[in-house]
Every structure is written in structure tokens, then in C-alpha cells.
Structure 1
Amino acid sequence: MVEIEPIEIQGKTFIAISVKLPKTNLLAVSNENGYIMCGALDVDLLNNRLRDRHIIAGRAVGVRTIDELLDAPLESVTIAAEKRGIKKGMKGKEALLRM
């Protein structure tokens, strides 16, 4: 099952996507500039092989719901995200507000 819904954080609208897969969930929250995602996100791939795309993204691990993703500290972030002031350890919702 796929769920897509708008969510609001401090007056800004983001799109939350949840994909129910066997034994796991794929979670992401995005806006027009970037996104945060569950542990399925490969930050090394984005930083190395796709570096020229300047993708603004962060990864949180061990999350099972969108709410957990928003409250979890980011385990890793892309180089482009760092340039926006997004740092490892920052909560997901705080990172989104900097995108």
C-alpha cells in the first residue's frame, strides 16, 4: 500500500510518502528542494556517483512511521544538505525547515 499526504511543519507544506513493503516500510518527506528518508536512502551514492546533481537529503535509521522520521536524528546527510546548514544528528523536521 502507498500513502501520500501533505503535512505541515511551522506553516510550511511537505509531502509525506509511506510505502508498505513486506517486513518494512519505505518512508520519505519532501518539498521542492530536498527530502529526508528512512534507512533505505544511500547517502554515499548521492554524495559520490550523483554528486553533480547536488541532491539535498538526509537519512534517519530505525524509523517505522512518518512521525518517527520527523523526530529522529539524521544519521547522515548529503554534501548539498550540509551547505544548507543541515547536519548529522539534527531532527528530521528541523532539516526539512532548512530545505
Structure 2
Amino acid sequence: MIELSPVEINGHTFLAVTVLLPKTTLLSISNDKGYIMCGALDVGLLNEKLKDRKIIAARAVGVRTIEQLLNAPMESVTVEAEAIGITKGMLGKDALLKMV
């Protein structure tokens, strides 16, 4: 099952996506500039093999819901995310606000 829902943060709308898979759930929250995601995101791959795409993204681990993703500290971030002020340890909702 795939669930799409809007998420409002300080007047800015993001798209939350939940994908229910056997034994795991994929979570992401995005806008047209970047996204945060659950532990399935491979930040190393984005920084190394896909660096020419300049992807703004951050990852949280151990989250199971969109609400948890919004309130979790970012475990890793891409180089492009760092360039706009997103840092490791920043809460997901604060990282998203740096993408507006």
C-alpha cells in the first residue's frame, strides 16, 4: 500500500509518502527542492556516485511513521544539504524548512 498526504510546517506544504512493504516501511517527506527519508536512503551513494545530480537529502534511522520522521534527528545528510544549512542531528522538520 502507498499513502500520500500533505504535511504543513510553518505554512509550507510538503508531500509525505509511506510505502508499506513486507517487514518494513519506506518513509519520505519532500518538496520540489529536496527530501528527508527513513534509513533506506543511501546518502553515501548520493554523495559519491550521483554527486553530479546535486541532490538535497537527509536520512533518519529507526523511524516507523511520518510523525517520527519529522521529529527525528538527521543521521546523515548529503553534501548539497549541508550547503544549504542542513546538519546531522537537526530534526527532520527543521531540515525540511531549510529546503523552502
* TM-score using structure 2 length: 0.98
Superposition misfits of 4+ residues, deviation over 6 angstroms: none
Residue equivalent to 2:41: 41
Identity across matched positions, percent: 67
Cα offsets for 1:2-21 (capped at 9, x unmatched)? 00011100000000000001
> Which SS does the other structure have where 1:85 is aligned?
coil
Flag structure 2 segments of 5+ consecutive residues without an equivalent. none
Which whole-Å CA distance do the structure 1 matches of 2:24 and 2:32 have between them? 26
Cα offsets for 1:25-68 (capped at 9, x unmatched)? 00000000000000000000000000011000000000000000
Give the partner amino acid of 1:52.
Answer: D
Give the partner amino acid of 1:12.
Answer: H
* TM-score using structure 1 length: 0.99
Between Structure 1 and Structure 2, how many residues are aligned?
99
Which whole-Å CA distance do the structure 2 matches of 1:16 and 1:39 have between them? 15
Which whole-Å CA distance do the structure 1 matches of 2:24 and 2:69 have between them? 14
2:14 corresponds to 1:14: yes
2:67 corresponds to 1:32: no
Which whole-Å CA distance do the structure 1 matches of 2:14 and 2:2 have between them? 16
> Which SS does the other structure have where 1:69 is aligned?
helix
Give the partner amino acid of 2:20.
Answer: K
Which whole-Å CA distance do the structure 1 matches of 2:2 and 2:52 have between them? 30
Residue equivalent to 1:72: 72
